[in-house]
């Protein structure tokens, strides 16, 4: 996976994109030019509603860079989106595993990211 693909996961705006194969209905999160299940080419990119259930949660006390240390500690979680994909993202402190959550978009370092909060 190349850097432009990783940087384009929100399609440049506030939102989370995913893909669903029109042939076999498989869904996935990281953009690809083909379905990883059946190989169908050019699957469409779709916009998630940004809602789901918090599956797992961890707290980060040591940020990975100097620029992000001002944000520590912060929480990262795995969210099962309603569309059927699981994403790793920031989670607000009020959310607990099993809670319904929704994405809000915040500035973190030099970019906008989803930060999930309790619905």
Q: Residue 98 is part of which domain span?
A: 51-118
pLDDT tens for 74-110 read: 999 999 999 999 999 999 999 999 999 999 998 887 7
pLDDT exceeds cutoff 60 at 4: no
Which pTM does this prediction carry? 0.84
Which distant-in-sequence residues (6+ apart) come within 8 Å of 34 by Cβ? 40, 41, 42, 43
User: Residue with structure tokens 């607000």?
Assistant: 92
Sign of the dihedral defined by the CA atoms of residues 76, 104, 8, 35, in that order: positive
Cis peptide leading into residue 73 (ω within 30°): yes
pLDDT exceeds cutoff 80 at 13: no
| Strand 86-91, strand 111-118: pairing | parallel
Q: Is 114 within the bounds of a domain? A: yes
pLDDT exceeds cutoff 80 at 119: yes
> Which strand (E) or helix (H) includes residue 80?
strand 74-81
Q: Is 110 within the bounds of a domain? A: yes
What is the model's pLDDT at position 1?
A: 42
pLDDT exceeds cutoff 50 at 6: no
User: Residue with structure tokens 């030099």?
Assistant: 110
State how many domains the chain has: 1
Question: Once rounded to an integer, what is the mean pLDDT over residues 27-41?
Answer: 93
Answer whether 44's CB lies under 8 Å from 17's CB.
Answer: no
User: What is the distance between the alpha carbons of residues 112 and 50, in angstroms, rounded to a whole number?
Assistant: 14
Phi, psi of 74 (to 5 degrees): -145, 165
């Amino acid at each position: 996976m190349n850097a432009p693909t990783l940087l384009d996961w929100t399609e440049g705006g506030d939102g989370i994109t995913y893909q669903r194969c029109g042939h076999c209905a498989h869904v996935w999160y990281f953009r690809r030019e083909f379905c990883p299940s059946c190989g169908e080419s050019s699957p469409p990119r779709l916009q998630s509603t940004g809602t789901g259930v918090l599956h797992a949660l961890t707290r980060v006390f040591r940020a990975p860079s100097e620029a992000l240390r001002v944000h520590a500690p912060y929480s990262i979680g795995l969210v099962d989106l309603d569309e059927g994909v699981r994403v790793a993202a920031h989670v607000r402190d009020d959310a607990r595993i099993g809670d319904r959550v929704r994405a809000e978009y915040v500035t973190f370092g030099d970019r906008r990211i989803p930060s999930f909060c309790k619905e």
